[in-house]
Structure 1
Amino acid sequence: MAQSAPSPAQAARAGEPAALALPDMPLHDPWIVTDAEAGLYRLYTSNIPVVSGTPGLGTMMYTSRDLKAWTPARAVFVAPTDAWFKAGAWAPEVHPWRGRWWLFTTFHDEAAALPAIDKRKPYRRATVAAVADRPEGPFKLVRDGEPVAPKTLMTLDGTLHVDPDGRPWFVYAHEWLQATDGTIEALPVTDDLVAKGPPQVLFKASDAPWAKGQNQPAGDTVFVTDGPELFRTKTGVLLMLWSSYDAKGYVQSQARSKSGTLAGPWEQLEPLVRYDSGHGMLFRRFDGQLMMVVHRPFKTARGKLYEMRDAGDRLEIIRQRIDLDGDPKALIGGP
């Protein structure tokens, strides 16, 4: 059985940094890896220099043995200063693939203009890859930071999906600033995670009946797609977590492929959590319990933990673990 992290008093006596709780931890776009070998949960998020103590764009990581007490963050990836991007480091994800650990994270450069869409002015934004031999890094940028998806596309929140035949796919959100009605798209990639075919549109944000378009100053209406993650249920159904906005804020929802493949068609299910929650991902506790972490609220985000049920054709929330994430009351579903 994994040991609990020391209490703040124990840590102080040992000369170690005091343990943190989730309410103490700035946490946008959280990603958790269950490292059974090390007995650790590894939680990745965008590097905040004043938190990690390391300057620069990149990714920082907290660790915990029990999902309640967390070590202070440290940087596991620092991007080179001569890369094409100037800002971002959003939505880091860490995946094991062919004996190594791959980090995907999204950067942008507002000065690198892409062709205008009506009065909107897209600019270069994309998910890039870095690699390490261990989940704790250090991660090194691959291919000089060139995007996985075509660089002419304004993309974000890329994730790795491996289909039943063992073929890797890169799944990402196509940004509303360029697409107008944001989409989730899939790109076939090689074993080195290099694009090898054109992207395929899986669905658009407005397909969800609950999604609310965002009115823009130019008078048009756009729809947001964020945070895709694929999950194969115990009955073989292919689901996707993803986020957008309803009339009241950010929403964590799910979609289901009718064919059981990325090709879909995809049907939109009822949201899992509203209350300005989203960008969720799934992981398993050491005891096998399926968990979901989301951030809430969108601004000043903190991590919120939910025990989940694989219902075969959908995901269901069992309960929110407010004893771990510090919320005063559980928030499930939504108004």
Structure 2
Amino acid sequence: MLLSEIQIRDPYIVTDKEAGAYYLFGSTDRDIWNEGTGFDAYVSRDLEHWEGPHPVFRPEPDFFAEKNFWAPEVHVYQGRYYMFATFRRKDNGLLGTAILDADHILGPYRSRSQGPVTPEDWSSLDGTLYVDEQQQPWMVFCREWQQIGDGTICAMPLDHDLTAAAGEPVTLFHASAAPWATPFYAERYPGRENFVTDGPFLFRNEDRLCLIWASFIDNRYALGLAVSESGTLQGPWTHEDTPLYGSDGGHGMIFETTEGEKMLALHTPNRTPYERTILIPLASLLGIE
């Protein structure tokens, strides 16, 4: 299969340089807005031709969620595979990011945390793993705009077993802090200006700690870049004036090819069922020779 043939949102690519293989994860239910089936993955040797789908997660009978299975990310941490993924809780109807794990990159993934790790009374999504200079693991995630109007990117320390929070979340920034993001207008909130945060991902570009995240420009999906002035997770964070990608695409991540080239993966357009993954060399976006 080609990427243009795979319906997927929130793409996340893991490179296995020793095996010369790439693993593509993402929100793969045909209708992610309703009942959840699970997550599938695809495998490639050249980033052009992919085989799959491989079912990597299917919920246990007593799983805490039945709908909105979103944005799985797979991280290698202390020699094991960990999946951070968002689900809508059955008990209170709020979104939260949980942690799952597996022996193999293609699963099967099983619950590691006791439900979502994000705060129980917050609507939270799109958690990603960041390990700081002191080897402290953090979950960086979004607090949803639907709950608070001006969405935030937050960071919360995790225990070293990746089973639970190890402290209270802190706010890194609000969506409205970015000069490129504009209010998002939704029919369910008539007359209310909303600012969306979506899909954070951290990476280092030379000595700079960078964070990409998605929002909207005139109700069209877009991807922006923020840079930590201190070089640490705590920031403060400075936003670029213009988006990295403004053509109805977002929820991106950065991965490295087997040849060492950094690539941006994101989905576009932002309309179901037309979402597809596109890959863009990061150097061309950042103006690096």
- Does TM-score exceed 0.5, indicating one fold? yes
Partner of 2:100: 130
Q: Is the 8 A contact 2:36 2:66 kept in 1?
A: no
Structure 1 alignment gaps of length 5 or more: 1-19, 114-122, 320-335
Deviation at 1:318, TM superposition (A): 7.0
Partner of 1:78: 58
**Aligned residue runs from structure 1 range 240-255, under 5 A:** 240-247=211-218, 249-255=220-226
Provide the rounded CA distance (Å) in 2 between the counterparts of 1:138 and 1:155: 24
Of 13, 24, 27 in structure 2, the residue corresponding to residue 43 of structure 1 is 24
Structure 2 alignment gaps of length 5 or more: none
**Aligned residue runs from structure 1 range 225-244, under 5 A:** 225-234=197-206, 236-244=207-215
Provide the rounded CA distance (Å) in 1 between the counterparts of 2:269 and 2:174: 24
Q: Is the 8 A contact 1:243 1:253 kept in 2?
A: yes
Deviation at 1:210, TM superposition (A): 1.5
Partner of 2:227: 256
Of 286, 299, 306 in structure 1, the residue corresponding to residue 280 of structure 2 is 306
Provide the rounded CA distance (Å) in 2 between the counterparts of 1:106 and 1:56: 11
Map Cα deviations across residues 112-144 of structure 1 (whole Å, 9 max, x no partner). 44xxxxxxxxx4110111101221211111134
SS at match of 1:71: strand
Give the counterpart letter for 1:282 in structure 2.
I
Q: Is the 8 A contact 1:44 1:61 kept in 2?
A: yes
Kindly report the root-mean-square deviation, in angstroms, between the aligned alpha carbons of the 2 structures: 2.0
Structure (1/2) with the larger strand percentage: 2
Give the counterpart letter for 1:167 in structure 2.
Q
Provide the rounded CA distance (Å) in 2 between the counterparts of 1:47 and 1:275: 22
Deviation at 1:49, TM superposition (A): 7.3
Partner of 1:282: 254
Q: Is the 8 A contact 1:205 1:224 kept in 2?
A: yes
For the pair shown, which has the larger CA radius of gyration, 1 or 2?
1
Partner of 1:324: none
Of 69, 81, 86 in structure 2, the residue corresponding to residue 89 of structure 1 is 69
Map Cα deviations across residues 26-80 of structure 1 (whole Å, 9 max, x no partner). 0100000001232210000224379xxxx96321100000000110211111112
Give the counterpart letter for 1:226 in structure 2.
D
Q: 213-222 or 282-291: which moved more?
A: 213-222
Map Cα deviations across residues 247-282 of structure 1 (whole Å, 9 max, x no partner). 151001110111111111111113111110100100
Structure 1 pair 206/92, CA: closer, same or farther in 2 (3 Å)? Answer: same
Using the aligned pairs only, state the percent identity. 41
Deviation at 1:317, TM superposition (A): 6.0
Map Cα deviations across residues 93-122 of structure 1 (whole Å, 9 max, x no partner). 00011110100111104x644xxxxxxxxx
Partner of 1:223: 195
Give the counterpart letter for 1:84 in structure 2.
F
Partner of 1:66: 46
Partner of 2:137: 168
Per chain length, whose mean CA-contact separation is higher, i.e. which structure has more relative contact order (CA < 8 Å, sep 6+)? Answer: 2
Of 291, 298, 301 in structure 1, the residue corresponding to residue 263 of structure 2 is 291
TM-score scaled by length of structure 1 = 0.79
Partner of 1:11: none
Partner of 2:237: 266
